Amino acid sequence: MTHEFARIESYFAPLAGEEGLGLKDDAAILRPPPGRDMVLTADQMLEGVHFFSSDEPGLIARKLLRRNLSDLAAMGAAPMGYLLTIALPVRLPEDWLAAFAKGLEVDQAAFNIRLFGGDSSSSKHGIALTATMLGSVAPGQALRRNGANAGDGIWVTGTIGDAALGLEARRGHLAGAHPYLVKRSTLPTPRLGLALAGIAAAAIDVSDGLVQDLGHMARESGLSAVIRADMVPASPEAAALGEAFLETRLTGGDDYELILAVPPGNGERLKEVCGELSVTRIGVFQPGEGVHVLSASETVLDFAASGWKHF
Amino acid sequence: MTHEFARIESYFAPLAGEEGLGLKDDAAILRPPPGRDMVLTADQMLEGVHFFSSDEPGLIARKLLRRNLSDLAAMGAAPMGYLLTIALPVRLPEDWLAAFAKGLEVDQAAFNIRLFGGDSSSSKHGIALTATMLGSVAPGQALRRNGANAGDGIWVTGTIGDAALGLEARRGHLAGAHPYLVKRSTLPTPRLGLALAGIAAAAIDVSDGLVQDLGHMARESGLSAVIRADMVPASPEAAALGEAFLETRLTGGDDYELILAVPPGNGERLKEVCGELSVTRIGVFQPGEGVHVLSASETVLDFAASGWKHF
C-alpha cells in the first residue's frame, strides 16, 4: 500500500459518511434529499495566500470548512457534506496531517456534515487545500444576491471587522489586540440555521470585506447601497482599538457575517429568527449604483481600499 | 472590479450552466434529476506533479475534466457538470487563462457538461487546479470496485500502457515514440456511456496503473486477480516499441481505460454494448489475494514497481 492510500485509510476514511463508500471507490454516491434543491460551493486555501505556514493545522481545516459553510449560510441552505482535495509537500510532518484531520472531525460534528470523497496528492511547493460543500434548500427559498429592492434595509449579523484586525495582529502590525480578534480571524462562525426565507430578500456573506461584498449585492440588484459607518457594529474588542481602524474594519475580509436586504417592517421578525445573534441595520438600498459610506454627520467617507486582498 | 472578478466574468461566466447563476452568487443551485442518485468525485492537477509547465493549457483543462469524467465512467454514471478551483501565479500570461478556458469549453460541449461554480485565487508558486464532477446514476446501478466474484473474467477496454509510454516520450526518455502515445498521455478518453449495468459486476478506471488498480478491485472484492501479460492489449504504436516496455505498460498510469469484472457468459453482451470500443479478457478473479501476472507460458512475472508515481 503506498503512502497516499495509507494516509487516506488512517486519517480520512474514518471521517467518511456512508456516501463516501469508505473512500475506497472511484466516486461517492449520494441520494438527494427528496423535494429539495442542492446547493454547491467550492473554496480553496493555499499556504502563504490564505493561511500562514505556522497556523495550527486543525484551525486551517476548520476554517476551510467554515468558509464553505458560510457560502451555504448566505444562500439559506442546510449543509450535508463535502469533498476534499489536499496537496501536501513530501516533507510535511505526519503530525500536521493528524492535527488537520482532527480539525475536520471536530467541525464535522459541530455542523453535522460528512466527508463524501476527494483526492490526496504530493505538492512540489506549499500546501493546497480545496473543499466542495454540498447542502440543500427548499425549492425557491434560496437567498440570492440579486433580490434586494429599493427601500430594503441593509442589515448585518454579528460584528464587522474583527477578522481583519485579528489578521493585522497575527502579522505583528497591531500590538495590544485582544485574542478574541485573532480567534475571529482563524475560526470564523458561519451563520447557518437562520430561517431567513420570507424575511430577507437577499443575502451575501462577508468574505472580501463589507464594502466590496455589499457592492456585489447592490450591483446584482441594480441598486446603490448607502450605509452609515458609525452604525456598523463593532465588537468591544475592536472598539477598544479606536476610530483609526475604521477603514480596516469596513474593507477587511474574512468576517463571514451575513449582509441581508430586509424589506421595511421585517426587522422585528429578523431579530426573532436570529435569537441571541445580534443583527443591526446599517443603511438602506436606493436607486442608483455603488456603495456610499457616510459619517455620523452624513458626509461621504472615501476609502483608499474598497476591496480586500488576501495576504 | 478587481482582477479576479474580471477574470471570472471574461473567461468562466460564459461557461456556466444556469445552475451556476452566472457565477455571481455565493453558491450554485442544482435541481437533482428525479429518481436518480448523485455521483460525486474530485481530482486535482498541480504544475510539476500532474503536468509540465510547458503543456498546452487547453490540454491541461481537458485532462482535468477527463480524469474526473473517467471516475464517473467507472461508476457507470452519466456526467452533469462540475465545480472548478484555480490558483494561478500572478505573472501567468493572460493567454494561458484564455487557452485554458477554451479547453474547458471544448470538452464541456464534447461531454455535455456545465460549469456550476468554483473559486479563483492567486498562487505563490505553481498552478493548482481542482475539479469536482457531479453525475447521476439509476439507484442500485452504480458499478462498485467490490462487486467481483470468483470466476468473473477480468476485462479491459481499449489498449493499456499507451499513456505511460507517451509520458516517457514527453520526458525525452523514449526516442521514436509515435505521437499517438503522447496524445494518449495528454488527452485521455473517459469511457462514458457504456450500458454496463447487469453486464459487469464491478469496475475501476486505470489511473494509477493496471496492476495497482486491479489490485484495488481484487482487495475490495476479497479475491485475487490472475492476468496473462501477453493478453493485455497493446496499441500498434505501443507494440512497435517491443517487449522491453511490458512493465511500463502494465504498471504505468493515466490510461483511463476501464477494468471490468464480467461474470462468465456476459462477454458477448459486453462486446455489444461497447460497440466500436474494443474490450479484451485478460484474466480471471479467483479466491485468494493479490495480483498475479503470468507470462504466456504461465510463469509468474515480478515487477519492481507495482504502483505508479506521478512525475
B-interface mutation test, from A4, A12, A26, A53, most B Cβ less than 10 A away: A26
Per residue in B233-244, pLDDT (tens digit) is 999 999 999 888
Q: Quick one: what percent of chain B has pLDDT higher than 70?
A: 97
Beta bridge pairs of residue B300 = B294
Q: What is the mean pLDDT of residues B305-309?
A: 50
Nearest to B145 among A25, A38, A41 (CB): A25
| Residue A2 pLDDT grade (very low, low, confident, very high; cuts 50, 70, 90) | low
For residue A273, give the DSSP letter: H
| Residue B294 pLDDT grade (very low, low, confident, very high; cuts 50, 70, 90) | very high
pLDDT at A305 over 70: no
- Taking the CA of residue A75 and the nearest CA in chain B, the distance in Å comes to 7
Average predicted confidence (pLDDT) for chain A = 93
| Residue A7 pLDDT grade (very low, low, confident, very high; cuts 50, 70, 90) | confident
CA-to-CA dists, residue B5 to A73, A307, B45, angstroms: 22, 11, 23
| Residue A1 pLDDT grade (very low, low, confident, very high; cuts 50, 70, 90) | very low
CA-to-CA dists, residue B262 to B174, B199, B205, angstroms: 35, 7, 15
pLDDT at B307 over 60: no
Q: Quick one: what percent of chain A has pLDDT higher than 70?
A: 97
User: What's the rounded Cα separation, in Å, for the pair A71 and A64?
Assistant: 12
Tell me the chain A residues in contact with residue B137 when contact means C-beta distances shorter than 8 Å: 29
Tell me the chain B residues in contact with residue A137 when contact means C-beta distances shorter than 8 Å: 29
User: If we measure between CA atoms, which residue out of B216, B232, B229 comes closest to residue B290?
Assistant: B216
CB pairs below 8 Å between A and B: how many?
A: 192
How confident is the model at residue B8, as a pLDDT? 80
Average predicted confidence (pLDDT) for chain B = 93
- Taking the CA of residue B225 and the nearest CA in chain A, the distance in Å comes to 16
Tell me the chain B residues in contact with residue A37 when contact means C-beta distances shorter than 8 Å: 29-32
A-interface mutation test, from B8, B26, B45, most A Cβ less than 10 A away: B26
Helices H, strands E: what count in chain A? 9, 12
Per residue in A266-298, pLDDT (tens digit) is 999 999 999 999 999 999 999 999 999 999 888
How confident is the model at residue B7, as a pLDDT? 80
User: If we measure between CA atoms, which residue out of B184, B172, B175 comes closest to residue B253?
Assistant: B184
CA-to-CA dists, residue A55 to A7, A48, A132, angstroms: 21, 10, 22
How confident is the model at residue A4, as a pLDDT? 72
Q: Are A309 and A208 in contact (CB under 8 A)?
A: no
Contact B216 A24 (CB under 8 A): yes
| Residue B308 pLDDT grade (very low, low, confident, very high; cuts 50, 70, 90) | very low
pLDDT at B110 over 90: yes
- Which phi and psi (to 5°) does residue B283 adopt? 170, -160
Tell me the chain B residues in contact with residue A24 when contact means C-beta distances shorter than 8 Å: 145-146, 216, 220
- What is the SS3 assignment for A165? helix
How confident is the model at residue B239, as a pLDDT? 95
Tell me the chain B residues in contact with residue A116 when contact means C-beta distances shorter than 8 Å: 40
pLDDT at B269 over 50: yes
How confident is the model at residue B310, as a pLDDT? 40
Per residue in B55-84, pLDDT (tens digit) is 999 999 999 999 999 999 999 999 999 999
Q: What is the mean pLDDT of residues B226-239?
A: 97
Interhelix angle B57-75/B94-111, rounded to 10 degrees, is 30
Beta bridge pairs of residue B280 = B156
How confident is the model at residue B304, as a pLDDT? 61
Tell me the chain A residues in contact with residue B3 when contact means C-beta distances shorter than 8 Å: none
For A126, other C-beta atoms within 10 Å of its C-beta total 20
Per residue in B270-284, pLDDT (tens digit) is 999 999 999 999 999
Residue at grid coordinates 489498449:
B159
- Which phi and psi (to 5°) does residue B226 adopt? -120, 120
User: If we measure between CA atoms, which residue out of A87, A71, A79 comes closest to residue A107?
Assistant: A79
Tell me the chain B residues in contact with residue A74 when contact means C-beta distances shorter than 8 Å: 26-27
Q: What is the mean pLDDT of residues B98-121?
A: 96
Interhelix angle B162-170/B179-186, rounded to 10 degrees, is 100
Domains in chain A, CATH or no CATH each: 3-137 (3.30.1330.10), 153-301 (3.90.650.10)
- Taking the CA of residue A140 and the nearest CA in chain B, the distance in Å comes to 10
Q: What is the mean pLDDT of residues A49-70?
A: 96
* Chain A residue closest in CA terms to B29: A39
Per residue in A147-196, pLDDT (tens digit) is 999 999 999 999 999 999 999 999 999 888 899 999 999 999 999 999 99
How confident is the model at residue B5, as a pLDDT? 72
- Taking the CA of residue B40 and the nearest CA in chain A, the distance in Å comes to 5
For residue B307, give the DSSP letter: S
Q: Is the ipTM of this complex over 0.95?
A: no
Per residue in B15-62, pLDDT (tens digit) is 998 988 888 888 999 999 999 999 999 999 999 999 999 999 999 999
- Taking the CA of residue A298 and the nearest CA in chain B, the distance in Å comes to 26
How confident is the model at residue B309, as a pLDDT? 42
For B252, other C-beta atoms within 10 Å of its C-beta total 27
How confident is the model at residue B79, as a pLDDT? 98
* Chain A residue closest in CA terms to B25: A145
Per residue in B172-215, pLDDT (tens digit) is 998 888 999 999 999 999 999 999 999 999 999 999 999 999 99
Q: What is chain B's length?
A: 311
Interhelix angle A94-111/A57-74, rounded to 10 degrees, is 30
For B237, other C-beta atoms within 10 Å of its C-beta total 19
How confident is the model at residue A63, as a pLDDT? 98
Nearest to B44 among A32, A71, A130 (CB): A130
Q: Are A212 and A204 in contact (CB under 8 A)?
A: no
pLDDT at A309 over 50: no
How confident is the model at residue B2, as a pLDDT? 59
Q: What is the mean pLDDT of residues B157-167?
A: 97
Q: Strands B78-89, B114-123: parallel, antiparallel or unpaired by DSSP?
A: parallel
* Chain A residue closest in CA terms to B207: A26
Tell me the chain A residues in contact with residue B218 when contact means C-beta distances shorter than 8 Å: none
Contact A83 B132 (CB under 8 A): yes
How confident is the model at residue B1, as a pLDDT? 45
- Taking the CA of residue B119 and the nearest CA in chain A, the distance in Å comes to 6
